[in-house]
Amino acid sequence: MGKIKKMKAIIVGGSIAGVSCAHSLTLAGWDVLVLEKSSEPPARSPTGAGLGLDPQARTIIKSWLPHPHLLDETTLPLSIDQNQGTDSEKKVTRVLTRDESFDFRAAYWSDIHGLLFNALDPTMFLWGHKFLSFTMSQDESTVKVETLVMETQETIEIHGDLLVAADGCLSSIRKTFLPNLKLRYSGYCAWRGVFDFSGDENSETVSGIKREYPDLGKCVYFDLARDTHSVFYELSNKKLNWIWYVNQPEPELKSNSVTLKVSQEMINKMHQEADTIWIPELARLMKETKEPFLNVIYDCDPLERIFWGNVVLVGDAAHPTTPHGLRSTNMSVLDAEVLGKCLGECGPENLNLGLEEYQRIRLRVVSEQVLYARCLGRIKQGLDRDGVGLEQKHMPFFSGAPLV
């Protein structure tokens, strides 16, 4: 008897959503090829930042790793979710809410990406390959992808049975099916930075921060001032992650990225504003952080569908979301797990059925979480006065989302 031909999945995007799908589809028995325009794996991304992993996502990630303990070794616990109000005139804070049963772990983006990438066969990745376009066969059974080899400027064609769009919130693949879809600007942007205090643990800046934030290393702090808020928590390897959301008109994006190029003048202005709003210890840390960057915050009204034929959306391509509730990475991991489980259980002969099941399971979950995160962000930014509470534990499916 001849061997059954393996189905081939082409994944566009080598970020966490893409590498997660590479794991889940490989386990489901698929051949996988990942296309990524970056020239090499992001061993230490200059714009990398912190993220929080919930228990369900951690369990899934550990199931993909040959050495699951490495996930705990590269993350720190976030067992406390604390919201506190900041009096910008008196430069003092007071606790508003405190949840001591918050079972997340804090991670540096590139550390998680590295764990996932290093657990895969590197030959399934084509680095320096920019996605250009795709076409589906008339019966929607195969897909052809055109990609540009950045080093040689050569255009090549790649054929497969499934196209997975893991190309982010500005997804060009999604635009093929939803050309009139416009992302919703949140009304604010986010300054972000990672402060590295390795070798400088006893500095005045670090001592002051630890005095004002005594639960660093196990707590995610939300500081709420008038019409603005910030997020602050510790990462492994002596790093402190901060995010500051600033209400402003929508900036013009000049590239296919939500990260803006910032000038020294913009950074200086941010430093000055930090002095007027935050307690001195937090403002000083922001000013001493090297290479802060600025993200434009978008989300999208929930989509009515996330697959067409043999093309499927995952991660931020399927559900652009604001970062409130620490959802983006966790949703991407669960998308990948559910997609792999559905395709594995339905089998290659029932690809459409597997994609329908993936959509049925995930669409309700991500839709509710996107809308909740939007509401949470608007309340903390002073854009709405009524709505959800401040604590993240009220997020829909907070205790776990269905997998199959």
Q: Which of 250, 270, 299 is the last residue of a domain?
A: 299
Q: Indicate if 372 and 318 belong to the same structural domain.
A: yes
* pLDDT number for residue 48: 63
Lowest mean per-residue pLDDT among 184-193, 198-207, 255-264, 290-299 = 255-264
Please compute the mean of the pLDDT values over residues 275-285 and round it to a whole number: 98
Residue 392 lies in a domain: no
Token digits of residue 40? 């090499």
Residue 267 lies in a domain: yes
Assign 175 a pLDDT band (cuts: 50, 70, 90).
very high
What is the spatial distance between Cα 162 and Cα 309, in angstroms, rounded to a whole number? 9
Residue 389 lies in a domain: no
Residue 256 has pLDDT above 90, yes or no: no
Residue 2 has pLDDT above 80, yes or no: no
Please compute the mean of the pLDDT values over residues 89-111 and round it to a whole number: 96
Residue 368 has pLDDT above 80, yes or no: yes
Q: Indicate if 277 and 132 belong to the same structural domain.
A: no
* pLDDT number for residue 3: 56
Please compute the mean of the pLDDT values over residues 348-367 and round it to a whole number: 96
Assign 327 a pLDDT band (cuts: 50, 70, 90).
very high
* pLDDT number for residue 23: 98
Assign 1 a pLDDT band (cuts: 50, 70, 90).
very low
Q: Are 312 and 177 in contact (CB under 8 A)?
A: no
Helix (H) or strand (E) holding 137: none
- Residue owning tokens 């009096």: 87
Residue 398 lies in a domain: no
**What mean pLDDT value characterizes the chain?**
94
Assign 199 a pLDDT band (cuts: 50, 70, 90).
confident
Cβ burial of 386 (10 Å; 0-12, 13-18, 19+) is: exposed
Assign 404 a pLDDT band (cuts: 50, 70, 90).
confident
Q: Indicate if 83 and 23 belong to the same structural domain.
A: no
Q: Indicate if 213 and 262 belong to the same structural domain.
A: yes
* pLDDT number for residue 156: 97
Residue 291 has pLDDT above 50, yes or no: yes
- Residue owning tokens 């921060």: 209
Q: Indicate if 285 and 174 belong to the same structural domain.
A: no
Q: How long, in residues, is the chain?
A: 404
Number of domains in the chain: 2
What is the spatial distance between Cα 235 and Cα 192, in angstroms, rounded to a whole number? 14
What is the spatial distance between Cα 108 and Cα 53, in angstroms, rounded to a whole number? 10
Domain that holds residue 307: 8-43+121-182+301-381
Q: Indicate if 364 and 231 belong to the same structural domain.
A: no
* pLDDT number for residue 17: 97
* pLDDT number for residue 44: 53
Residue 335 has pLDDT above 90, yes or no: yes
Q: Indicate if 26 and 77 belong to the same structural domain.
A: no
Q: Are 167 and 38 in contact (CB under 8 A)?
A: no
Which residue would you say has higher pLDDT here, 16 or 39?
16
* pLDDT number for residue 342: 98
β-strand partners of 130: 148
For residue 323, give every residue at least 6 positions away whose Cβ sits within 8 Å of its Cβ, in sequence order, or none: 190, 243, 297, 373, 377
Residue 13: give its domain's CATH number.
3.50.50.60
Helix (H) or strand (E) holding 310: none
Q: Are 57 and 106 in contact (CB under 8 A)?
A: no
Q: Indicate if 193 and 283 belong to the same structural domain.
A: yes
What is the spatial distance between Cα 144 and Cα 358, in angstroms, rounded to a whole number? 23
